[in-house]
Each structure stands twice: as C-alpha cells, then as structure tokens.
Amino acid sequence: MTRKERLFADYEAVKDKAICVTLMVRMPGGEIEVISNSNVEDKMAYIDRTYDDDLVHANSVKIHIEDYSFERTDDPMDFGSAIMNMKEGHKVARKGWNEKGMFLFLADNIDFDTTADLTCVKDLKGDLTCPSIVMKTANDKFVVGWLASQTDMLAEDWKIVE
C-alpha cells in the first residue's frame, strides 16, 4: 500500500466523525509546517489532486506530507478546544453530561423579554446582544450566559455532541 493509499484508508475509517485534519508538511527549506483544516473533505480532495503516491507535492519534490492526524467528534478535548468547536457551530459537553442530554453551544443572537424598565437604553432596535455560551439543561431549559467552573475549564473530557 502506498503512503497516499494509507492516508485515504485512515480517512475512510474516521470519515463520518472527522472534524479536522492536521498535516505535518516538510517544506523546501527543511522546516515542518503544521496545517490544520476543519474542511476535511475539501482538504482530502486537494491532497488527492496535488500529491503523488508517496505524498510528494506535484509542483515540488521538496514539499511532502510527513505525517497526519484526524480530529474526530468523539475525541476528548480540553476547554479551549471545546470553545473553538463552539465557534465553528458545534455543540459540546463534558463526559457524563450526555446521559442527561446537557450540552453547550454558542448563541450569536438572543431575543429576550423582560418586565424591567429599559427606558434608559437609547436604542432598543437591531442587534442588542453579544454572543454567549448557552447551556441546554437536563430539564430542557436554556441557561444564557453559562459560566465555566474551575473544574470545567481544567477538564480534558470535553466532546462534540452530534
């Protein structure tokens, strides 16, 4: 099996859960460039078109893929990665939350009703809210402006929820 066939076999094995491909590419000057791309399908099509069976770039024998990895929806991650994935539109949860149906997501626009007197606000039209992390609770309610505990921020058991 060629290196390219191995790469595509590895991709096929995780294709349904792949959310990012990371490539370690040897550049003409000898340095390694790390390229991560969340558009996995397009990146793999590019590799198929541009690299030969030994994963050498068609335009330069000095450029080749040395190694690669796939990030999957079921890979555990840290809180920073969980935030990054929320920014890309994914829902995330801590291990153990999913049995309860709990997860977090990023809300870009939130409508709200209030009985509070907001006449002090000059203009109550248009986009009035900032993006916010929202939690879907076990009893199907939403906590807008959810805040992470120290334990949540230091945990490395975050996962993407499908």
User: Do 31 and 91 sit in the same domain of this protein?
Assistant: no
| Whether this model's pTM surpasses 0.85 | no
Q: What HEC string does the chain produce? A: CCHHHHHHHHHHHHCCCEEEEEEEEECCCCCEEEEEECCHHHHHHHHHHHECCCCEECCCCCCEEEEEEEEECCCCECHHHHHHHHHCCCEEEECCCHHHCCEEEEECCCCCCCCCCCCCCCCCCCCCCCCEEEEECCCCCEEECCCCCHHHHHCCCEEEEC
Domain count, the chain: 2
Residue that terminates a domain, selected from 46, 72, 98: 72
Residue that terminates a domain, selected from 72, 90, 122: 72
User: Do 98 and 47 sit in the same domain of this protein?
Assistant: no
- Tens digits of residue pLDDT in 68-103: 999 888 889 999 999 999 998 999 999 988 678 999
